Structure 1
Amino acid sequence: MAKLRIIGAPSDFGQGRRGVDMGPSAIRYAGLSEKLARLGHDVEDLGNIVVPTPEMHTVKDEKLKYFDEVKAVCENLYREVSRVMEEDAIPIILGGDHSISIGSMAGIAASRRPFGVIWFDAHGDMNTPETTPSGNIHGMPLAVNLGLGHPELIHLGGFAPKVKPENVVLVGIRSIDEDEAKLIRQTGIRAYTMAEIDRMGMAAVMEEAIRIASNQTEGIHLSLDLDSLDPTFAPGVGTPVNGGVTYREGHLAMEILADSGKIRSVDVVEVNPILDIHNQTGNMAVELVESLFGKTVM
């Protein structure tokens, strides 16, 4: 039995499309707490952190849109996640857009215990203010956690970087900006494209990913962007990209992670109910988290 604590971070300041602020509600509506409790876990939903209303704020910097608001959200999340980690519980953070991972990973890193990261995403999230084509901070969180980007985001929580590049793995990428690709190569993080998943198979990819992320660390943080899945299975995301992870590949990945016993924390981000069909993506998110925490057929 695991001690699981659910934290909502209903922010869409990090991206240019409204709706992911309702992601935590959609995932909760799909029965996350109840279904994890049925698996025998100690589950408590801590509610949502405080997030400003976007209509009351304006963009001041086109290369770092809603910078002050994103920073404030991430600071609030950092404090809540670090408190959960002090209780030796596993935080399950519900986004919101992927910029919230700046706060969640700062909270995880606050214990100064080394951890690795498996970043499931169609995108690299490795842009900086110098490389970004959009200025949306949800395209920057992995770079920030590696120590690249705006100093105030990099040093959130008072230290940087949050994770070492040799313990970071990208899985499922298929939409990368040109300068972002250069940064990925320069940092040396391991990135598995969908073509590599096709060739190797998801099982082999996950075994390698776990080995990399757990090498000389005390656990793994999973950052699960629902756009890693093909839009056939997860239509309700802000930036869908065709040719993604299938339903069974997604569950297999979570099942292998569950078997590893190394999961220390998880983000579930970019669920957009406005774009969804009958909460299909919210339900998919819950099913994947169930598999991550031990649900099996038998």
Structure 2
Amino acid sequence: MRIEILGTPFNGLGRPPHWENPADGLRHAQLVRRLASTGHSVTDRGDLAGFRFQGVRDPQTGIRDYRSWVALSQCLSEKVGDMIDREAFVLLLGGDCSMLVGILAAFANKQTPVGLVFLDGHADFHSPETSPTGDPADMELAVLTGRGPHEITHVAGKYPLLEEKNVVVYGIRARDGIDRSPIRVYDRQQMAERGIHAVVTEGLDRFTRNGLPLWLHFDVDVIDPQLMPVMYPEPEGLTVAETSTFLQLVNAGGRTVGMSIACYHPDLDLDGSAGVRLVNLIADVLISRA
């Protein structure tokens, strides 16, 4: 399989990429070499550049770095669209979950329906009014499904960017207002009680029946913070083994067209062990598609 990698090292914390670059952190953990060793053809296209998030709230919308988020989403949509056209498996290294708007805008601009499998410790379903920080990564799932300022919800040629019926959320411990939506949710407790295989099979049933391609979004804070240092830890997350099982089950059908990795912080990974765990997880998920 041909894999194209793109870094999107931006976040609502206002940290510029030269201070902390999560994409480079995973590169230093030998991601490219590890993927290539499994038989994939891997092209690293570097990082999306030219954007500066400063952590300042926009006075009109209440969203931090709102104009930068819109511009980043438009640029990322073009880049991802080109990768889709080359029929590559798209692997995006963030940054934070706000990159999902640009990713899904690429599919919307191509009039290509897609299902989103959203694995995260937080539902990211705040509004600008309910978010304590105004961080885009507090609210990107709400924006994707049509809730939010006009310019970002209409960033592509389709509104909403994603229909609620085409989203399934897994692993959350913080609900962030998602209960006001009909989106299917399997929180951490349900995954533990029912088993990962059961909730994946049930949650993806509609996608399977309709033959939808899938985008897999993996925020690493879904993993227990004792195993994965993150900026906003929620206790009692998934183990590494559970995460691996989940990712492999989602990918097993061969309909996953891309994957985004969010919220890895090299500055918090003092000995580099968390980065190595992530690289191994990613490689193990994709090895069956070599």
Q: TM-score, normalised by structure 2?
A: 0.91
Aligned 8 A contact 1:79 1:107 in 2: yes
Q: 1:120 to 1:248 in 2, by over 3 A?
A: same
2:58 paired with 1:60? yes
Count, aligned residues? 287
The Cα shift of 1:176 comes to 2.3
The Cα shift of 1:109 comes to 3.1
113-122 or 275-284: bigger deviation = 275-284
Aligned 8 A contact 1:202 1:253 in 2: yes
162-171 or 276-285: bigger deviation = 276-285
Aligned 8 A contact 2:64 2:134 in 1: yes
The Cα shift of 1:271 comes to 0.6
Q: 1:142 to 1:214 in 2, by over 3 A?
A: farther
The Cα shift of 1:16 comes to 6.4
Q: Residue 114 of structure 1 aligns to which amino acid in structure 2?
A: P
Q: 2:197 aligns with which of 196, 203, 208?
A: 203
State the distance in 1 between where 2:75 and 2:179 align: 32
Q: 1:200 to 1:104 in 2, by over 3 A?
A: same
Q: 1:5 to 1:59 in 2, by over 3 A?
A: same
The Cα shift of 1:15 comes to 4.0
SS at match of 1:148: coil
Match of 1:25 in 2: 24
Describe the superposition over 1:36-73 as per-residue Cα deviations: whole angstroms up to 9, x where unpaired. Answer: 11111121011111143345x74433820111112222
Match of 1:132 in 2: 131
Q: Residue 223 of structure 2 aligns to which amino acid in structure 1?
A: L
Q: Residue 221 of structure 1 aligns to which amino acid in structure 2?
A: W
Q: Residue 161 of structure 1 aligns to which amino acid in structure 2?
A: P
Aligned 8 A contact 1:168 1:212 in 2: no
Match of 1:260 in 2: 253
Gaps of 5+ in 1: none
SS at match of 1:8: strand
Match of 2:287 in 1: 294
Q: Residue 67 of structure 1 aligns to which amino acid in structure 2?
A: Y
State the distance in 1 between where 2:207 and 2:238 align: 20
Q: Residue 60 of structure 1 aligns to which amino acid in structure 2?
A: D
What CA RMSD, in Å, does the superposition of the two structures yield over aligned residues?
2.1
Describe the superposition over 1:229-270 as per-residue Cα deviations: whole angstroms up to 9, x where unpaired. Answer: 0012211x2211110011110111122123211111111010
Q: Residue 239 of structure 1 aligns to which amino acid in structure 2?
A: Y
Gaps of 5+ in 2: none
The Cα shift of 1:186 comes to 3.5
The Cα shift of 1:287 comes to 1.8
The Cα shift of 1:284 comes to 2.4
Match of 2:222 in 1: 228
Aligned 8 A contact 1:11 1:21 in 2: no
Aligned 8 A contact 1:21 1:96 in 2: no
Aligned 8 A contact 1:86 1:111 in 2: no
State the distance in 1 between where 2:175 and 2:144 align: 18
Q: Residue 165 of structure 1 aligns to which amino acid in structure 2?
A: E
Q: Residue 202 of structure 2 aligns to which amino acid in structure 1?
A: E
State the distance in 2 between where 1:170 and 1:207 align: 13
State the distance in 1 between where 2:38 and 2:66 align: 39
Match of 2:212 in 1: 218
Describe the superposition over 1:162-216 as per-residue Cα deviations: whole angstroms up to 9, x where unpaired. Answer: 2221121111100123xx1xxx234311111111011011121222232244442
Q: 1:213 to 1:230 in 2, by over 3 A?
A: farther
Q: TM-score, normalised by structure 1?
A: 0.89
Aligned 8 A contact 1:23 1:282 in 2: no
State the distance in 2 between where 1:189 and 1:134 align: 24
**Aligned-pair identity (%):** 28
Aligned 8 A contact 1:35 1:290 in 2: yes
State the distance in 2 between where 1:83 and 1:284 align: 30
Q: Residue 26 of structure 2 aligns to which amino acid in structure 1?
A: I
